Amino acid sequence: MKGATRIASNAATREGPAENAGIREGDLIVSAAGTEVTDPDELHAALAKAGVGRLEIGLVRGVEDLTVKVDLTAGPANKQN
């Protein structure tokens, strides 16, 4: 799919939110929270806007269109003491 963001194998933390939601290496992310994403910056902006909680991600795996729900958690930079 033209313009889709590809998940890099090092982009998903083992047993992290993406892996737990079923996102695999090679999947193409095409939307976040119902909004099309065409580059990593747009994806990062959607993740930041969503904050901690559940985010719906649209992706393409091979010829199949899928939607997964990712449970976002606070990363080390976002955790408050």
Question: In this structure, are residues 32 and 55 in contact, taking their beta carbons and an 8 Å threshold?
Answer: yes
5-72 under CATH 2.30.42.10, yes or no: yes
**Per-residue model confidence as pLDDT tens digits over 19-45:** 888 888 888 888 999 999 888 888 889
**Per-residue model confidence as pLDDT tens digits over 61-76:** 889 999 999 998 866 5
pLDDT of residue 8: 45
Question: In this structure, are residues 60 and 27 in contact, taking their beta carbons and an 8 Å threshold?
Answer: yes
Question: Can you give the residue ranges of every domain in the chain?
Answer: 5-72
pTM of the model: 0.74
pLDDT of residue 74: 67
